[in-house]
A and B are shown apart, each in its own frame.
Chain A
């Protein structure tokens, strides 16, 4: 056991939210009540004591230690393993002193001098170190009590069992508290991150996006090089907007399903318009990724084969049992028979990257085109 190595992170974490504070408070109350009970027992059976003065000195010692321990355990910074060790040593010493100052007559009618007060130290150890410490302390109590009485009596067993149960329960509660605190810390952190993200999104929306959109608009009007700059600004605006806006749409999406609308919206740019329903279009994540890849391939085709400035429209439709994605461009298009030709040649990326992907999803891809009519690719994917 390396106390220095294992404890600091735990205490540091506990200090943050204080989920275990009620446990420590409970132990303090238990310790104070118990020392009063122990004094009452000594008073009640004072006639059986072998050394009354010694016994009372032990009770006073217990009282002093109770005051000190209550003070010491109150502050997380003072809760050290040294303190717990001292607590255990003093508790065991007080209990063992019963053999010298109280005697067998007293033990025949009452528990050892420490009575229930003994429980406080093992409980503190259980909160600090977990259930194993409580079990060990309970067994130690059993051994010491047996030594005091010279035999294993029913009182020894019941005391040990009570201590075992209490220590185990408190240790378990401490464990739960630590777990809860850990989860709570995670939730707080997540919330802070979300809030920060929303704040950033708002700020970016109010400033950068407006300027980028304005540059795009003015640049396009001015023409020439300014138009190129405007186009670049527009693309950055769309990308940035998708980035800060993505979080909002992904609310109910999990790792297994994805919102195809949000996924494809990322492709919107100056020359690419993406139209989706206002509501989510959920699709299994793997399927959505494949559809996205097919759309990318279609967009890449336009880039490769159409003159600059060709516009593209992507439409996402949710028909219930089918999801339809259409990619249409206003490029030069081609004669219908050339599509088959191009596919046979392995050009256009149509066969593999689009048709293959959609077929694997159990859907179909239809290509419609004519000279001067652009190319329209319709992807139908079953749910």
Chain B
């Protein structure tokens, strides 16, 4: 796959940020195919732009980034979603990732980190920050501790290795450092991280379907 095929849509209500992100990406040779200042517009124009990655701010004037993520992913051939957010919105970040966002980056991240993240998101690789790893670890522990379905086979669980890898990500180690510390390949580390996210997103979809059936929405 070539970076030239990366088509980015930038969704942010602050013109200052929207322009800065778009400029950085363009300078790096990525194609910014559209920008949107609100969620409704983003959802409306996404199919026509054939964007491969949508960089979405969590706080939009008309709907939350979580909702934008859900609606974009409901379209056919949707873009990968990279959530860009200020820190301190943990629950929203977690919800967006559970809804299917490929990754999360803080707004203060550098230009190189942004370009790297967009490129990785384009290839479908989970973009994990230490903050997101902490959130995902917390979510698995919350699901495990939840009283209702004690031995529910659907409740996602982390393997010992996955927990180990996630904890190291949360402590700020790079994949390369993790690989050398655990004597794994870089790709294996990446797969473990990806798996933790996939299981959570699958569980989220199962829960949504179960909820829909309970509410009689499937009829």
By DSSP majority rule, is chain B's interface helix, strand, loop, or mixed? helix
Pick from A210, A237, A245, A320: contact of B16, CB under 8 Å: A210
Given contacts A220-B110, A221-B111, contact A317 B131 (CB under 8 A): no
Pick from B59, B138, B141, B172: contact of A313, CB under 8 Å: B172
Pick from B130, B133, B138: contact of A278, CB under 8 Å: B138
B160 on interface, CB distance cutoff 8 Å: no
Given contacts A213-B86, A318-B138, contact A278 B91 (CB under 8 A): yes
A residues sitting closer than 8 Å to B (CB atoms) are 205-206, 209-211, 213-214, 216-218, 220-221, 234, 237-238, 241-242, 245, 265, 268, 270, 273-279, 311-313, 315-320, 326, 328, 330, 376
The 10 closest A-B pairs by CB, nearest first: A277-B138, A275-B134, A313-B172, A278-B90, A278-B91, A245-B88, A328-B171, A278-B94, A315-B170, A275-B170
> What mask results when residues 113 to 142 of chain B are scored 1 for a CB within 8 Å of chain A, else 0?
000000000000000011101110111011
Contact indicator A217/B131 (Cβ below 8 Å): no
Give chain A residues whose Cβ lies under 8 Å from the Cβ of B1: none
B residues sitting closer than 8 Å to A (CB atoms) are 14, 16-17, 20, 59, 86-88, 90-91, 93-94, 107-111, 129-131, 133-135, 137-139, 141-142, 145, 167, 170-172
Contact indicator A275/B131 (Cβ below 8 Å): yes
Contact indicator B131/A273 (Cβ below 8 Å): yes
Contact indicator A277/B135 (Cβ below 8 Å): yes
Contact indicator B134/A277 (Cβ below 8 Å): yes
Pick from A217, A317, A328: contact of B137, CB under 8 Å: A317
Given contacts A209-B86, A276-B134, contact A217 B59 (CB under 8 A): no
Give chain A residues whose Cβ lies under 8 Å from the Cβ of B94: 278
Contact indicator B86/A275 (Cβ below 8 Å): no
Contact indicator A238/B139 (Cβ below 8 Å): no
In the bound complex, what is the Cα–Cα distance between A315 and B14 (angstroms)?
A: 31
Q: Quick one: closest A residue to B140, CB to CB?
A: A277
Contact indicator A317/B108 (Cβ below 8 Å): no
In the bound complex, what is the Cα–Cα distance between A210 and B59 (angstroms)?
A: 12
Give chain A residues whose Cβ lies under 8 Å from the Cβ of B137: 277, 317
| A208 → chain B closest CB, angstroms | 12
In the bound complex, what is the Cα–Cα distance between A205 and B107 (angstroms)?
A: 13
Contact indicator A313/B171 (Cβ below 8 Å): yes
Q: Quick one: closest A residue to B144, CB to CB?
A: A320
Contact indicator B90/A276 (Cβ below 8 Å): yes
Give chain A residues whose Cβ lies under 8 Å from the Cβ of B86: 205, 209, 213, 241
In the bound complex, what is the Cα–Cα distance between A234 and B108 (angstroms)?
A: 8
Given contacts A265-B88, A277-B139, A279-B142, contact A316 B110 (CB under 8 A): no
Contact indicator A210/B17 (Cβ below 8 Å): yes
Q: Quick one: closest B residue to A327, CB to CB?
A: B171
Contact indicator B142/A277 (Cβ below 8 Å): yes
Q: Quick one: closest A residue to B89, CB to CB?
A: A245
Give chain B residues whose Cβ lies under 8 Å from the Cβ of A319: 141
Give chain B residues whose Cβ lies under 8 Å from the Cβ of A218: 20
What are 28 inter-chain pairs, A to B, with CB distance below 8 A?
Answer: A205-B59, A205-B86, A210-B14, A210-B16, A211-B16, A214-B17, A217-B20, A221-B111, A234-B108, A238-B87, A245-B88, A273-B172, A274-B131, A275-B133, A275-B134, A276-B135, A277-B135, A277-B137, A278-B91, A278-B138, A279-B138, A313-B130, A315-B167, A316-B134, A326-B167, A326-B171, A330-B172, A376-B171
Contact indicator B171/A317 (Cβ below 8 Å): no
Give chain B residues whose Cβ lies under 8 Å from the Cβ of A276: 90, 134-135, 138
